Structure 1
Amino acid sequence: MKKYFVLVMAFVFVSTTSAFAANMVKPDVFKQWLESKKPVVIVDIQPADEFEKHHFKGSIETNAFPAKTDVDKKKLDAAAEKIKASKDDVVIICPRGRSGAANTYEYLKSKGIAESRLYILEGGIAGWPYKGMLKSGR
């Protein structure tokens, strides 16, 4: 019985960690990228009202959160085309940097965008400690 339990727990651990095996960028590193003007494509999936409150300058507004349905994912297609036209890294901005960002990451990968270029902002916009760097309005 113990072996079965250990096997099940190992499966659960592997399943949950692989779901979030995406490239993450810590806020302090992303802040350095912004301050150094490193070329990045910022794909923001926040709902429209949240984007209006706070976003990064130059973000591509998609309002695709949580990027689960085909309708949500269709909202990412214009951003995918812009990404494909660039060689820059891509940072996905989500309310909390979790499942919506992971869904977007996987969708962009399915569109042929190299995983080595894709990053998720750790903690999302809610975890961004440098609020003075955010813009409001459109």
Structure 2
Amino acid sequence: MKKKILALLLMAILAVSVVGCASNETEKTTAEEKTYQYYTAEQVKDAIENGDDITLVDIQVEDEWNAHHIKGAISTKAYPVKTDEERAKVDAVIPQLEGDNPIIVVCPGGKGGAQRTVEHLTESGIKPERLFILENGQGGWPYDELLEK
């Protein structure tokens, strides 16, 4: 009888240990997930119209840039920012990113390419608190009056 109780007690301790490790691993994974800051199209529009000191870094490919881009944006033509060559295109504009003003990355959809650009700029020494992504990217930009075509 004592052996059965001891065996059950050991199994219970083992089960708690396994669950505890699993939940710690989940917490670790969640803590390691990257988070990104965003500007909405309306916030960017307001900043442009108010003359706020912001920098727009557009990573659209050349054809998309030529078809439409936000006035005043810096073109990199670096999308999707996966290769060394594409990252080098982002590197070329880093000298224009000095200061403490917000930098808003514009990509076609506001997702992976913009996230990779933010990560690359952070790795290149740009303060992460300055880096933002245009929510929904150029494809979600509703203000034609602020486009250059």
Q: When the two structures are superposed, what TM-score results if normalisation uses the length of structure 1? A: 0.83
Equivalent in the alignment of 2:134: 121
Match of 2:92, SS state, is: helix
Equivalent in the alignment of 2:42: 28
Identity of aligned residues (%): 34
In 2, Cα distance between the equivalents of 1:131 and 1:125? 11
Q: Give the aligned residue type for 2:45.
A: K
Question: Which of 33, 55, 70 is the matching residue for 1:18?
Answer: 33
Extract unaligned runs of 5+ from structure 1.
Answer: none
Question: Which of 54, 64, 72 is the matching residue for 1:40?
Answer: 54
Equivalent in the alignment of 1:131: 144
Q: Give the aligned residue type for 1:23.
A: Q
Q: Give the aligned residue type for 1:67.
A: V
Match of 1:132, SS state, is: helix
Structure number having the greater helix percentage? 2
In 2, Cα distance between the equivalents of 1:18 and 1:98? 15
TM-fit CA distance, 1:14: 3.3
Q: Give the aligned residue type for 1:73.
A: R
Q: Give the aligned residue type for 1:59.
A: A
TM-fit CA distance, 1:113: 0.5
Equivalent in the alignment of 2:116: 103
In 2, Cα distance between the equivalents of 1:28 and 1:57? 15
Higher-Rg member (1/2): 2
In 2, Cα distance between the equivalents of 1:92 and 1:106? 11
Match of 1:58, SS state, is: coil
Question: Which of 48, 51, 55 is the matching residue for 2:65?
Answer: 51
Find runs of 4+ consecutive structure 1 residues off by over 3 angstroms: none
Match of 2:48, SS state, is: helix
TM-fit CA distance, 1:96: 0.2
More displaced 10-residue stretch of structure 1: 22-31 or 98-107: 22-31
What is the count of residue pairs matched by the alignment?
130
In 2, Cα distance between the equivalents of 1:18 and 1:52? 35
